[in-house]
Amino acid sequence: MTSLAPNDEAEELLRPSADLLYRVIEYNAAGMHIFDRDGRFVLSNAAVEQMYGVPRSAFTGLRYDDPRFVRFTLSGEPLAAVDHPFSQVQRSGRPVYDVQYVVTPPQGARRVISVNAAPLFDDVGEFSGAVASITDITRYIEHQSHLQTLAVENARLYEETVAALRQRDALMHSITHDLKNPLLSILAHAQLLERRLARGGPCEPGQLSEGLAAIEQAARRLQGMVTELLDVARLEAGQPLELQRAPMDLVALVQGCIAELATAGGRHRFVVEAPLPGLVGVWDAARLERVLSNLLSNAVRYSPAGGEIAVQLEQQQQGSAAWAVVRVKDHGMGIPAAELPRIAERFYRASNVSTSIPGTGLGLASARLLVEAHGGTLTIASTEGEGTTVTVRLPLDPPPSGGS
């Protein structure tokens, strides 16, 4: 390796070397220290004062590991003396680079500094001290930390986006499947009636009536699904629903929903506990029917065939307010505890639900939003593997004049 030798112009420039060296150190933008062979500060430049927030005279005569220096440079948490750049240079006789410290000056903000140090040798090659260059890298570290935070956030958003797209695809498949069933039923009954009429034979009034009733029932199911989607979209967007309120009996509505499920051929056993013969309030009957149908259907869907589903109705008094309370309790698969806070979000389905069980993840979300639109609450208690209880509370008092 060839040594770097000054040319004539450089030699001329370097003749007054002590003065030149002093000016290079003094006006350097980086903080600089010069140590003697024992590690005592011999010289510090102006940048050091700005970096540490103390006059440079405070360093003069101190060793690099002196507690007085450590106190105002390392915030009372010094590294071991052997880790100091001077110690490393003294032991190895070679430069060290980018030794980082956290510095909290007596007056000033916390900073991160990077120290480069190089040994100094006398004319006979003996170690005579060291020079250290100190750079404030706080902004660089903060920038790197910010970039890391952005990278983590971007990764999280990417995962959420991918999960949302998968959820959307699963939802579209589920909705398509659910909407297809009533459409197929309408098509099948319409084609059956059409074939009977095309044959020119007599079409019994009972057969015609039965076919039309099946078509009407399937159309109503389809209409209910579409209405549910629209209601959820409106409420999620913060748009109020126009509730068609009228006096209605909640006990009769529950019994009607159970009867409809029973005619669908289910094997579950429903037990209704209603101390009062009726529970009348001013509500939107069609939408509350959808709420109860969703809750009862979920209880059927997520509990074993032949299992018992309990429905409890009661009136509660809280101060001057009267409330109608409905509880739907099953003994099915239950919901994982960690997922309970999200289970009533739209399109959310518990992780323990098999993909073979149909559902859009809209039922509970729709029920919660519709109950809240009535001024009520919907709460869920569940133990995985034991069952779920959904409690609906609805105000019995008529809404204020002009309310929805």
Domain boundaries, the chain: 8-136, 161-236, 245-395
Say which range, 92-106, 307-321, 336-350, has the weakest mean pLDDT: 336-350
pLDDT at site 5: 45
CATH of domain 161-236: 1.10.287.130
Residue 14 has pLDDT above 50, yes or no: no
Residue spans of beta strands (DSSP E) within 319-399: 321-329, 377-383, 387-395
* Residues 40, 86: Cα–Cα separation, whole Å: 10
Residue of 371, 180, 372 lying closest to 288 (CA atoms): 371
In which band, very low, low, confident or very high, does the pLDDT at 378 lie, cut at 50, 70 and 90?
A: very high
**pLDDT, tens digit, 9 for 90 and up, residues 317-342:** 888 889 999 999 999 888 888 888 87
pLDDT at site 70: 58
Say which range, 174-178, 193-197, 362-366, 390-394, has the weakest mean pLDDT: 174-178
pLDDT at site 6: 46
**pLDDT, tens digit, 9 for 90 and up, residues 237-266:** 777 778 889 999 999 999 988 887 776 666
* Residues 250, 247: Cα–Cα separation, whole Å: 10
CATH of domain 8-136: 3.30.450.20
Long-range contacts of 366-370 (CB under 8 A, 24+ apart): 366/228, 366/231, 366/232, 366/290, 366/291, 366/294, 367/290, 367/291, 367/294, 367/295, 367/392, 368/344, 369/231, 369/232, 369/235, 369/236, 370/231, 370/235, 370/241, 370/284, 370/287, 370/288, 370/290, 370/291
Q: Which residue has the higher pLDDT, 80 or 21?
A: 21
Query: Phi first, then psi: what are they for 137, rounded to 5°?
Result: -110, 20
Residue 355 has pLDDT above 90, yes or no: no
Mean pLDDT, the chain, as a whole number?
79
Q: What is the DSSP letter of 40?
A: B
* Residues 388, 390: Cα–Cα separation, whole Å: 7
pLDDT at site 81: 46
* Residues 280, 269: Cα–Cα separation, whole Å: 26
Whether residue 273 contacts residue 327, with contact meaning beta carbons closer than 8 Å, is answered with no
Task: Give this prediction's pTM.
Answer: 0.51
Whether residue 313 contacts residue 319, with contact meaning beta carbons closer than 8 Å, is answered with no
pLDDT at site 211: 78
* Residues 237, 231: Cα–Cα separation, whole Å: 10
Residue 117 has pLDDT above 70, yes or no: yes
Amino acid letter for position 226: V
Q: Which residue has the higher pLDDT, 91 or 262?
A: 91
Domain 245-395, CATH homologous superfamily name and number: Histidine kinase-like ATPase, C-terminal domain (3.30.565.10)
Residue 311 has pLDDT above 90, yes or no: yes
pLDDT at site 80: 47
